[in-house]
Structure 1
Amino acid sequence: MPTIPSTLRATARRVPETVAIKFGDYSCTYAELDAEVDRTAHALSDLGLCRGDRFALMATNSDRYVVAFYAALRVGAVVVPVNPGSAAPELQYLLSDSGAKILAYDLAVAGTVDAARSGFPESLGDIVALTEGSDDLALTSLAAKSATGEFEDVPTEEDNSLILYTSGTTGKPKGALFDHHRTIWVAVGCALNTGQKVGDRFLHVAPLYHAAELCIMLVPGTMVGATHVIMAAFDPVPVLDCLESEQITMMFGVPTMFQFLLRVGLLDRDLTSLRTAMFGAAPMPASAVVALTEALPNVDLMQLCGQTEGGPGGIYASVDQVRARPDASGRQATMFAEVRVVDPVGNDVANGEVGEMLLRGEGVMKGYWNKPEETAATIRDGWLHTGDLTKVDADGYMTLVDRLKDLIITGGRNVYSVEVESVIAAHPDVVDVAVIAKPHELYGESIVAVITLRDGGSMTLAQLQEFCSDKLSHYKIPHDMVLGAIPRNPSGKILKHKVRSGLLV
């Protein structure tokens, strides 16, 4: 089986003149990209980066991100993508936990890198900037002075490729470890599931450090020979401009991105080139899914629902399934994967019941980096225990209703926060919502809705309860309401532990 960098080499030989990357005014062909990756691999090797070493990459989306990513893998290193929005203590933790030998960063995060330097672990060797403009060595300059010619791919499919840190919605992130075999299987499955092909033009606006954008867009897109149109950050109007001007055929975005696009004039744009749009990484309210399908009637809108630990992988819904059941999370497992929904003793749940989603397949992680106990608790008998509570309908649709850790038990009855959040999110004055539990002396837990209102909007607890009264059973209706901002990670997932800590202070 090929490795991640060898697929770039193969594409460069198959379609050398195809444009590989467009970033602002810069563009390069696949032959040029492969040659630049070779030069950068020589530079990294000269710094002492070897097979199995960890290479931390902290950068916003750019052409240099792609070059550094493939070059480190070509050397045989394990890439550790770091959220460029990380604070100094978070960066220190990831470098220490991963045992990174080299940190590469772009100038946009230089301030964070400088603030964190005093706490960098002793295991960290070189610190390099992707481009010139700092006091650190610049990878572009090193590559320009390095040897020319092909750098022979070092890794095999069994070698480790990525440590993808989980979003840390319940605490400190854990590193999900993958080898090339697993990452390639995920890429092949995604290419087949979504119809990726040579000649496609991908828009990369979701962050490349994120498992979804990296593993289901960049890696398979490079494998098939797509053109990667890269934007540094999400801004709805420029994104719409890019979709039009660059004739984008495929994109992935988190739900909030699509909701912003709807608000700034999606209906007024010529998006006839857009064939497939995928959303995932966080739930999208059914009302928003309906609005999106109506706004994009000729686009294959697909929902992807999974976990970083799954490759990322899990379940998905095709365009017809999304239109038929906008409230569901998916209908079947992603390619080369299996899914079960089980009760606490491991039996498959009956239709209409709720259980935990389990995953098994070629793309599931090897385990958590240096965390054998957590690995053993999560992967049991070959099945990844996701912690996602899922309802299975008679027609096979699956809907994530909560995380095991977020289940609310009030008066002895189970309340799934996602169900309540979906109802509240449909209120016209609500921009964002998180539903959590608060200790209650009589009922065990009471239900609290934390709500962000639109500008000029207003709501009282009584009005909220009235809105929910004909949409939820009475015991699921919030007992309390707090107005404020909802903390989310860059993937769009609600940071429930931060919501709770803010509420209980």
Structure 2
Amino acid sequence: MPTIPGSLRASAGRLPGAPALTFGGVRYTYRELDQEVDRMANALLRSGLRRGDRLALMAANSDLFVIVFYAALRAGAIFVPVNPASAPPELAYILTDSGATTLVFDAELSDIVDVARSGDSGGVRFFALGQVAGYDDLRHLAADAPASPPLIVVEEDDDSLILYTSGTTGRPKGALFDHHRSVWVGVVVAAASGMRSAERFLHVAPLYHAGELCIMLITGTMLAAHHVVHSGFDAREVLDTMEAEGISMFFGVPTMYQAFLSDPGLRARDLSRWRVGMFGSAPMPGAVVEQLLAVLPGVELIQFMGQTEGGPGGVYSTPEQVRARPDACARQALPFTEARVVDAADRDVQPGEIGELVLRGETVMKGYWHQPGETERTLRDGWLHTGDLVKVDHDGYLTVVDRLKDMIISGGRNVYSVEVENALAAHPHVLDCAVIGRPHPYFGESIVAVVVPRDGTTITLDGIKAHCRKLVASYKVPHDLLLRQAIPRNPSGKVLKHVLRDGMRPGTAPKSL
């Protein structure tokens, strides 16, 4: 039966000498990677990990991230990725909420782990990926372990992943998946993107995030792809690697693609082997898509729109559809997935109307880890209610207009923040922006534009209002302006609107920096 570590074993058996993983100067064939995973899995089992235990990994992108991921699953554990930028309370929350018995962490993060560990009751085993005083080095334990298959049978219906939601509205929830669902993500993505055997992937987006982990790593390993891993994002270094390694497929958030466009030598680079560029996790302005199509005519752009709870899965646009409607977010459901846009009574909305996107398919989560109430509210009658408000255009394309919790009701009328954000983004002096609501005694909520100006420019509220009146209805024009040096975003590029709202007390005017 198919499982995530089983797909690695199958690729190693089929193409043992094929390149599997490159990180810095370290390279592995599929046979070598499979053996390293066996060693790591045996080391973890020797150290007390048991089938069904939760193993948390707090690490940046690296070859060791990939090895620990597959090893944990091969040992029968449930894998829990943790953002390496987490503060000690955030780490402690995930360890407690997931009931993790093991934490593996980058040596550079030991100070954070020390603080989080101080409140641990002794139920978690801690292992460093490197030499840290007071912690076992998991690399050394693995080097002494046998490269033979562990005596653990992993089944398709065993739980595989707890992926914590991005927490854009508060504390994250753990979305639970089994191997069946995770493998189906690979099937769905391969069918939608046209992935081929032995593709060359570049992993730059964080592997602890569902997009990179499931869409790229799991799917690519199923097809014996060559995974080239970067520990972070620097546009010039990424483009250098794309040239040197002949990268054929890339997944990135919109801000990464916008950084590519800022590279003055982009047109002169040899990116002829770059076939497919996938993007998602946050809306991409239509103007940016048009620039990418012009500057990178040989790259087929595919847009995904989904969420962690979907696998991640949801809806998408093919390269032809991206070219036809660069301003839209998607055209149809991913393969083997059903998608609808419904009103508050779960009735399909008509073209031109706005409703909530709901999904059904093999990749949708089992539920939230130990949160039956939240699971019942989100999974209703077999459908995943995403909380994303989308407009169904008359030609069938979908456009995200807001999150249910982020919709602004001003003067009794619904204002969808994405629509106003798109208008703001078209201002030549706006580098980044977000739109939120603030309690107002007359309107109910006022519309606040949070703007990061481009260097050397000046932005005023009057100027913003004049600009927006040309693009949106008058009742959607921002009432207030807040200038910021940066917009708070999570690692997948989504704006943390609850952070912006928390910084604005009711009854006070926003202050410019």
TM-score, scaled to structure 2: 0.97
Look up the equivalent residue of 1:180 and give its one-letter code: H
Please give the secondary structure, in 2, of the residue aligned with 1:348.
coil
State yes or no: 1:382 paired with 2:382.
yes
- Determine the C-alpha separation between the residues in 2 that align with 1:448 and 1:136: 48
1:224 corresponds to which residue? 223
SS state at 2:231 partner: coil
Q: Deviations over 1:29-76 (max 9, x none)?
A: 000000010011110000111111000000000000000000000011
Aligned counterpart, 2:134: 135
| One-letter amino acid of the structure 1 residue matched with residue 415 of structure 2 | V
Per-residue CA deviation, residues 144-172 of structure 1 (Å, 9 max, x unaligned), is 11233222452101100000000000000
1:495 is matched with which residue?
A: 496
> Aligned runs of 1:85-164 on 2, under 5 Å?
85-124=85-124, 126-164=125-163
CA distances 1:59-96 after superposition (whole Å, capped 9, x unpaired): 00000000000000001100000001111110000000
Give the Cα–Cα distance (whole angstroms) in 1 for the partners of residues 309 and 478 of structure 2. Answer: 32
Give 1:121 deviation, angstroms: 4.8
Q: Could you tell me whether the CA contact under 8 Å between 1:256 and 1:492 is conserved in 2?
A: yes
- Corresponding residue for 1:174? 173
- After superposition, the C-alpha distances for 1:6-51 in whole angstroms (9 at most, x for unaligned) are 0000000000000100100000100000001001111000011111
Match for residue 511 of structure 2?
Answer: none
> Are residues 257 and 371 of structure 1, via their aligned partners in 2, closer, same or farther at CA, if it must alter by over 3 Å?
same
User: Match of 2:399, SS?
Assistant: strand
Change in CA separation of 1:422 and 1:153 when aligned onto 2, cut-off 3 Å? farther
1:298 partnered with 2:298: yes
Q: Which residue of 2 aligns with 1:264?
A: 263
Q: Which runs of 4+ in 1 moved over 4 A?
A: none
* Structure 1 pair 464–187 and aligned structure 2 pair: CA distance change class (3 A): same
Amino acid aligned to 1:203 = L
Structure 1 unaligned residues grouped into runs of 5+: none
Separation (CA, whole Å) in 2 of partners of 1:489 and 1:171:
12
**Preserved contact between residue 44 and residue 72 of structure 1 (Cα < 8 Å):** yes
1:189-248 Cα offsets, whole Å, 9 max, x none, are: 111211112221000000000001000100010010010000000011101101111110
Contact 1:96 1:123 in 2 (8 A): no
Q: Distance in 2 between matches of 1:155 and 1:135?
A: 32
Q: Does 1:359 align with 2:359?
A: yes
The amino acid that maps onto 1:233 is G
Other-structure match for 1:329: 329
Once residues 503 and 216 of structure 1 are traced to their aligned partners in structure 2, the CA distance between those partners, rounded to angstroms, is 37
- Whether 1:480 aligns to 2:480 is yes
Kindly report which structure 2 residues correspond to 1:389-404, keeping only aligned pairs within 5 A, or say none.
Answer: 389-404=389-404
What residue number does 1:246 align with?
Answer: 245
CA RMSD of aligned residues (A): 1.1
Classify the secondary structure of the residue corresponding to 1:119. coil
Change in Cα spacing, 1:312 to 1:455, as seen in structure 2 (3 Å) is: same
Aligned-pair identity in percent equals 58
The letter for the 2-side match of 1:451 is V
Query: How many angstroms apart in 1 are the aligned matches of 2:463 and 2:233?
Result: 34
* Amino acid across the alignment from 1:218: L
Which shifted more, 70-79 or 109-118? 109-118
Kindly state the Cα deviation for residue 323 of structure 1 after the two structures are TM-superposed. Answer: 1.1
Paired residue secondary structure (1:389)? strand
Structure 1 residues 376-434: Cα deviation after superposition (integer angstroms, max 9, x where no partner) = 00000000000100100121101110000001111111100011001101212111111
AA paired with 2:13? R
Deviates more, 1:267-276 or 1:366-375: 267-276
Within 5 Å, give how 1:30-69 maps onto structure 2. 30-69=30-69
2:36, 2:147 within 8 Å by CA — same for their partners in 1?
Answer: no
Q: 1:176 is matched by which residue type in structure 2? A: A
CA contact (8 A) 1:305 1:329 kept: yes
Paired residue type of 2:282:
A
- CA shift in 2, pair 1:153/1:84, >3 Å: same
- Alignment correspondent of 2:214: 215
| Distance across 1 between alignment mates of 2:478 and 2:444 | 14
In 2, the alpha carbon distance for the partners of 1:121 and 1:488 equals: 33
Residue 425 (structure 2) aligns with? 425
Moved more, 330-339 or 190-199: 190-199
Work out the number of aligned pairs and report it: 504
**C-alpha separation between the residues in 2 aligned to 1:322 and 1:32?**
39
Residue type of the alignment partner of 1:167: S
**Cα distance change of structure 1 residues 148 and 372 upon mapping to structure 2, 3 Å threshold:** same
What are the Cα deviations for residues 447-495 of structure 1, in whole angstroms up to 9, with x where unaligned? Answer: 0000001111111001001111110000000011010121111111000
Question: Is 1:193 the equivalent of 2:198?
Answer: no
In 2, Cα distance between equivalents of 1:358 and 1:122: 41
